[in-house]
Amino acid sequence: MKIKVSRKASFNAAHRLFRPDWSNEKNDAVFGKCNNPRYHGHNYDLTVSVTGEIDPETGFVMDLKVLKELIKEHVEEALDHKNLNVDVPEFKNLNPTAENIAVVIWDKLRPHIDKKKELEVVLYETPRNFVTYSG
């Protein structure tokens, strides 16, 4: 029997969506106001879920206190109140779209979660726009 446990978190970050190899006109056409050269910010909401078997000893799929600390250390401390384009090494050559941010978060957490368990990241850029990544 598999069950999914989840932990919610949030962080605030600024970014700019653009490609340096494109003209300003093409960046504006594709990314619109998200191409603001002075950046713009979001209050991101995050749900991290781990799916697996219930441990018969503890009754947990994963201790949510442990998941909380992993998110704090590897996601919140790395991304909160940062300019993703400037302050976060993973985005030096990677456009910080919601899709790419979700993959980066998943990659940061995956090494710290039992490989037998599934990991899913749901990232809300706005209350209506969100992405889901499961590896």
Q: What are 128's two structure tokens?
A: 């209506």
- Residue 32 DSSP symbol: G
On whether the CB atoms of residues 43 and 12 are closer than 8 A, the answer is yes
d(CA 122, CA 134): 9
Placement of tokens 């985005």 in the chain: 91
Is 81 a known active-site residue?
Answer: yes
Q: What are 125's two structure tokens?
A: 């850029």
On whether the CB atoms of residues 106 and 133 are closer than 8 A, the answer is yes
Is 34 a known active-site residue?
Answer: yes
Task: Check 53, 57, 81, 120 and give the catalytic one.
Answer: 81
Task: Check 15, 34, 99, 112 and give the catalytic one.
Answer: 34
Q: Which residues are catalytic?
A: 34, 81, 125
